[in-house]
Amino acid sequence: MKDLLLISTGGTISQELNDQTNLAKGIKSAYTFSTQLNAIAQELHINIVPMAILDKDSSNITPADWRVMIDTIVQEYENYDAFLITHGTNTLGYTSAALSFALGNLGKPVILTGSQVPYGSPGSDALLNLENTIRVAANSSPLVGVVAVFGSHVITGARVQKTTEFDYEAFKTFSSKSSLGRIGQALKWDRPALERHNKFVEPRARSQGELDIKPRFSMEDIVSLTEFPGLRSEFFNALVDAGAKGFIYRATGAGDPNIACVDAGFSNLRDGFEYLREQRIPIVVTTQAPDGVASMDINDPGILAFDLGAIPAWDMSIEAMTVKLAWLLGRRFPYEEVKTLMLKSFRGEIDPGRS
């Protein structure tokens, strides 16, 4: 018999609909979930213990809430074989990444799930996602670390991305050919992908004291910008003067900011990138192409930006690169080390064949 801690944080999966107004209200807590899941839990030899720690729409989740989740897992680590977190879908990718980076040496699975439709409503996917999560926990002997279970996918925590606000298969493994596993009539693991995922949390902690916990994130110090024709470099200066300590920059192509073009009456972004280098402010450059890779080594603009200190995001998701930059800044690494460590894959957030 395995012991599973079911942690409720809010989100759509915890809402119910008012029959008169059709507006979401009320909360279905972890206690309700555990009661409804008793039958499948008994069949799979899982003992579910409920715990409600938050009651939030995930759009309102903050790094302080991540700390509550992290502290809960650490405090209860020796008491349970697996941890299930119910979470809203809007920021589930950010929370999955944050827990992945913060919880080092995990020797047990931490599984996040949610739903597109409130629990108990017609067509709700909540019960299926919860049951699939329990199936993964029951068959988790090969699995450690942070993952998300949604629809039929088991996704490594540092590569979780929401791709639709409507479909039941709302999450996919970002920029990768396969999930860690697929859930249908049976649970099928992708063994090579699973082995890659597991190696990032070695050595595996058997006790709380063996965990490697690094829970600080400087999310409030990061600015995220999307490039468009005509963006002015003066905005970089203004944001740094306002306190920005790091940038996520969505450029075009393979990570190609408008940094080399010289047109009459228009100043390109070179002055802005040079200013960031002078001020020792890291800027991570990704691509706006949905399936693109920001290598910054193909076209002149990307190559020049790299020479000016910009950091290629390669195939990291926007969630992973943002949380990772905040995690490194929160650990007070100096500028040059941040540039180096952003290119290191800590939890499989960068495909080893990309960088």
Which residue is listed with tokens 């715990």? 51
Q: Of 213, 231, 251, which one is at a domain's C-terminal end?
A: 213
Q: How much of the chain exceeds pLDDT 70, in percent?
A: 88
Verify that 233 and 330 share a domain, yes or no: yes
pLDDT at 134 over 60: yes
Question: Which token pair is 27?
Answer: 């909360």
Higher pLDDT, 140 or 224: 224
The confidence score (pLDDT) of residue 178 equals: 66
* pLDDT given for residue 355 in this prediction: 47
Quick one: pLDDT at residue 290?
A: 83
Q: Which pair of structure tokens corresponds to residue 258? A: 């408008």
CATH number at residue 24: 3.40.50.1170
User: Across all residues in the chain, what is the average pLDDT?
Assistant: 88
Is 355 a member of any domain?
A: no
**Which of 66-80, 96-110, 132-146 has the least mean pLDDT?**
132-146
Residues 333 and 246 in one domain: yes
Give the containing element (helix H, strand E) for 135: helix 126-138
68 phi, psi to nearest 5 deg: -60, -45
- Average pLDDT of the residues in 132-137: 93
pLDDT at 265: 52
pLDDT for 311-345, tens place per residue? 999 999 999 999 999 999 999 999 999 999 999 99
CA distances in angstroms from 79 to 53, 70, 82, 176, listed in the order given: 17, 15, 9, 34
Q: Give the Cα separation of 284 and 286 in Å (integer).
A: 7
H-helix or E-strand spanning residue 327: helix 318-330
> Is 352 part of any domain?
no
Q: Report residue 329: phi and psi, to 5°.
A: -65, -35
Percent of the chain with pLDDT over 90: 67
Kindly list the distances between the CA atom of residue 271 and the CA atoms of 236, 255, 310, in Å, as whole numbers in the listed order.
9, 17, 13
**47 and 196 belong to one structural domain:** yes
Q: Could you give the number of structural domains in the chain? A: 2
How many Å apart are CA 343 and CA 313, to the nearest integer?
8
Q: Which residues contact 20 (CB under 8 A, 6 or more apart)?
A: none
Q: Is the peptide bond before 203 cis (omega within 30 degrees of 0)?
A: yes
pLDDT (mean) for 6-16: 86
Residue 37's pLDDT band (boundaries 50, 70, 90)?
confident
Q: Determine contact, residues 93/17, Cβ cutoff 8 Å.
A: no
Task: Please give the model's pTM, rounded to 2 decimal places.
Answer: 0.91
Question: What are 208's two structure tokens?
Answer: 């709380």
Give the pLDDT band of residue 59 (cuts 50, 70, 90): very high
β-sheet bridge partners, residue 266: 263
How long, in residues, is the chain? 355
CB under 8 Å to 177, separation ≥6 — which residues?
A: none
Domain that holds residue 8: 2-213
Higher pLDDT, 199 or 27: 199
Q: With bands split at pLDDT 50, 70 and 90, how would you rate the model's confidence at 125?
A: confident
Burial of 216 (0-12, 13-18, 19+ CB in 10 A): middle
Beta pairing partners, 336? none
Rounded CA separation 195/168 (Å): 27
Structure tokens of 42? 């008994």
Q: Band the pLDDT of 167: cuts 50, 70, 90.
A: low
Are residues 136 and 85 part of one domain? yes
- Do 240 and 133 lie in one domain? The reply is no
335: its two tokens: 């500028």
Q: Which helix (H) or strand (E) holds 74?
A: helix 63-75
Alpha carbons 50 and 34: distance in angstroms, whole number: 6
Residues 9, 112: one domain?
yes
pLDDT digit string, tens, across residues 187-203: 999 999 999 999 999 99
Peptide bond into 282 cis (omega under 30): no
pLDDT, mean of residues 286-307: 91
DSSP state letter for 157: G
Local confidence band at 15 (pLDDT 50, 70, 90 cut-offs):
confident
Question: What is the distance between the alpha carbons of residues 33 and 41, in angstroms, rounded to a whole number?
Answer: 11
Q: Is the distance from CB of 136 to CB of 154 less than 8 angstroms?
A: yes
The predicted structure's pLDDT at residue 28? 56
Please report the pLDDT score of residue 176 as a whole number. 59
Same domain, 306 and 268: yes
Do residues 118 and 24 touch, judged by C-beta distance below 8 A? yes
CATH number of the domain enclosing 312:
3.40.50.40
